[in-house]
Amino acid sequence: MFKCLRKFFFANKVVSSKQVFNDLGDLFTDVHSHLVPGVDDGAHDMETAVALIQRLQDLGYKRLVITPHIMSDLYPNTPEILKPKFEELKREVARKLPPIELLLGAEYFLEQNFIDLLSEASNADNVLLTFPCKDPVTGEKMEMILFEFAFHEAPNEGLLAEAIFKMQTSGLTPVLAHCARYPYWNMDRDKLKELHSKGVILSINAATLSGAYGDLAKETALFAIENGWVRMICSDTHAPHHISAVKELERSPILADLMSSGVLLNSGVGDF
């Protein structure tokens, strides 16, 4: 089923005659954004955060999983730091916008600190910021955790294996952020296959599908989609241009086929 998608992907190589309009409200949930004000490289203040949330809501999203960076050196966030700021954001959104559900997750950087947090998770509550998902097709219930790698250097294989093992043995389903944006895997896509085979959920940013990160990233995204490995489409909203990339997906035949295939988990994220 996914093999037919290649002909739709690169507008500069093949122009599709297939005309579609995707109702992004059918995705229901955006699973990756940086909208807690002032905690990372996303929204810098409350006004910006609320404006970005309003734009996502206008596109049809009814639920957002907001995922601030947690990175020991650059963004040393913790639940104790993030939760009060998130609650303040929820109150402001409830006051200014029509109802929209906000959930707090995190985007964990693969490093020793993440391993340490995973080790602590079995011994204490509220150590990790996770989010629930119920597969819209099978009904399988999962507790998910979003993680990422460095862009300039491939992850240490031992550290990655340990992280996956600890996540899964703690009852968590790993979700890899923006799987097509790691340059070292654009020419070694078997690594994505390996992660998929190990039960890691692969996500792709809307901006990757719109070409914002270059042809290689876009081609890697297509390759992963064709092989049935991609289960989430995310905005990764930091700023307005990311939402513009999401809007482009309203006319994407690729997203139309993904949405009709039943592989996407977006609509089940937040349900349990």
Could you give the number of structural domains in the chain? 1
CA-to-CA dists, residue 35 to 71, 91, 204, angstroms = 16, 14, 18
- What pLDDT does 121 receive? 77
Alpha helices for the chain (secondary structure H):
6-9, 46-58, 79-96, 112-121, 157-169, 190-197, 206-209, 215-226, 240-248, 253-261
Q: What is the CATH number of the domain that holds 105?
A: 3.20.20.140
Show the tokens assigned to 75. Answer: 């963004």
- Other residues' Cβ atoms within 10 Å of the Cβ of residue 170: 16
The pLDDT score that the predictor gives to residue 16 is: 47
Q: What is the pLDDT of residue 9?
A: 39
Q: Quick one: pLDDT at residue 124?
A: 57
Residues of the chain with pLDDT under 70: 1-18, 122-125
Question: Using CA atoms, how far apart are residues 124 and 109, in angstroms rounded to an integer?
Answer: 20
- The pLDDT score that the predictor gives to residue 18 is 66
Global pTM value: 0.92
- Which residues span the domain enclosing 65? 2-268
Burial of 10 (0-12, 13-18, 19+ CB in 10 A): middle
Distance CA 90, CA 109 (A): 25
Give yes or no for a contact between 92 and 46, defined as CB atoms under 8 angstroms apart: yes
